[in-house]
Amino acid sequence: MLEPLITFIIPSTGRKTITNTLNSLINQNNPLWVARVGFDFISEETKYSLVLPDDKRITYIFYPHKLGAGRNYGGIVRNTLIEDATTEWIGFVDDDDSLRPDYIDRFIEEKTSDNDLIMFRMSYDDKDEKVLPPLGVNIPIVNEMGISFAIRKLFLYINNLRFVNHYCEDFLLLREIYNKGGIIKFSDHITYNVKY
């Protein structure tokens, strides 16, 4: 059996939209992925009220004590889930978003030995009328990008970079990666759907 190419990290507050998120992974054209889902401040007994796909590539972890901060910040949950990821690359998706079926194919196409991070475009509607980061943006700009990226785990650890619990936690990490000289590939591919 072929080894997975990427681990998807998914913090969750137990929203019912997690089912759609996980199904978007299961429906990938390329099956070479694994996922780690961390339920923040949710006991394992609560899992019975959720519809969670039974797929051997998905690991569910329940944190009965609050790791995140605020209403929906997942930075510390992401950091905790990343620790046990065994793939070279880490990808991210929120529990109310989804990935397009060609995400893994596009990831394979974009990754090179030089890239530390691949920033994919994210669409806010099914007609792709609002896309971030906009084409032409090739540096981290606040409010112009989100969590739609994949990064080498080793780059995070060598540079001691972690998420913080903050409403701009994805941008703050991207800015630190950029400031540390990380090689960011801005892909033209839209692979990420926000809230659909």
Q: What is the pLDDT of residue 70?
A: 60
| Spatial distance between the Cα atoms of 75 and 29, rounded to a whole number of angstroms | 29
Q: Is residue 158 part of a domain?
A: yes
| Residue 22 Cα distances to 30, 53, 54, 73, 182, angstroms | 15, 7, 10, 19, 29
The domain total for the chain is 1
Task: Quickly tell me which residue has 């609002």 as its tokens.
Answer: 130
Q: Give the CATH number for residue 108.
A: 3.90.550.10
Q: What is the mean pLDDT of residues 21-45?
A: 93
Q: Is residue 56 part of a domain?
A: yes
The residue count of the chain comes to 196
Q: What is the pLDDT of residue 167?
A: 86
Q: Is residue 66 part of a domain?
A: yes
Q: What is the pLDDT of residue 41?
A: 83
Q: Is residue 44 part of a domain?
A: yes
CA 51-47-37 angle, 5° bins: 85
44 pLDDT above the threshold of 90 = no
Q: 71-97 burial, b if ≥16 CB within 10 A, otherwise e?
A: ebbbbbbbbbbbeebebebbbbbbbbb
Q: Is residue 11 part of a domain?
A: yes
CA 128-129-132 angle, 5° bins: 75
Give tens-digit pLDDT for 13-25: 889 999 999 999 9
Q: Where is 35: in which H helix or E strand?
A: strand 33-40
Query: Which residue range is the domain that position 108 belongs to?
Result: 6-193
Q: pTM surpassing 0.85?
A: yes
- Measured between alpha carbons, how far apart are the two ends of the chain, in Å? 32
For residue 1, how many other CB atoms are within 10 A of its CB?
5
Q: Is residue 20 part of a domain?
A: yes
Q: Average per-residue pLDDT in the chain?
A: 93
Give tens-digit pLDDT for 125-166: 999 999 999 988 888 999 999 999 999 999 999 999 999 988
Q: Is residue 1 part of a domain?
A: no
pLDDT band at 99 (very low <50, low <70, confident <90, very high): very high
Q: Is residue 25 part of a domain?
A: yes
